[in-house]
Amino acid sequence: MELEAARGRGDSATKESMANTEGFVLAYAGRLQEARAMSRRAEDFARQADRKGTEALYQTDAAVREALFGNAQAAKQSATAALRLSQSRDLVYGAALAGDSSRSQGLVDDLSRRFPEDTRVRFAYMPTLLALLALNHNAPSKAVELLQTAIPYEDGVRSAGSEILIGAGTLYPNYVRGQAYLAAGQGREAAIEFQKILAHRGIVLSDPIGALAQLQLARAYAFSGDRDNARAAYKDFLSLWKNADSSIPVFNQAKAEYAKLQ
Give CA–CA dist 50/261, Å, rounded: 51
pLDDT truncated to tens, each residue of the chain (262 aa)?
888 878 777 776 678 888 988 999 999 999 999 999 999 999 999 999 999 999 999 999 999 999 999 999 999 999 999 999 999 999 999 999 998 767 889 999 999 999 999 988 999 999 999 999 999 999 999 999 999 999 998 887 665 544 455 555 579 999 999 999 999 999 999 999 999 999 998 888 899 999 999 999 999 999 999 999 999 999 999 999 999 999 999 999 999 999 999 8
Supply the pLDDT for residue 140.
98
pLDDT of 110: 94
| Distance from C-alpha of 61 to C-alpha of 37, rounded to nearest angstrom | 13
The whole-number pLDDT of residue 8 equals: 74
Domains of the chain: 2-261 (1.25.40.10)
For residues 88 and 162, the answer to whether their CB atoms sit within 8 Å is no
CA dihedral 73, 75, 78, 81 (to 10 degrees): -70
CA quadruple 27, 99, 44, 40: dihedral sign: negative
Write down the pTM of the prediction. Answer: 0.93
State how far the Cα of 211 lies from the Cα of 243, in Å rounded to an integer: 13
Contact by Cβ (8 Å): 231, 261? yes
How confident is the model at residue 166, as a pLDDT? 55
Instruction: Give the whole-angstrom CA distance, residue 127 versus residue 198.
Output: 21
pLDDT value at residue 167: 52
In tens, the pLDDT along 29-78 reads 999 999 999 999 999 999 999 999 999 999 999 999 999 999 999 999 99
Q: Which of 214, 246, 243, 242 lies closest to 230 in space, CA to CA?
A: 214
* Side chain identity, residue 199: A
- Asked if 171 contacts 204 with a C-beta cutoff of 8 angstroms, the reply is yes
In the chain, DSSP assigns E strands to none
Q: 244 burial class (0-12, 13-18, 19+ CB within 10 angstroms)?
A: buried
44 C-beta neighbours (distance < 10 Å), count: 14
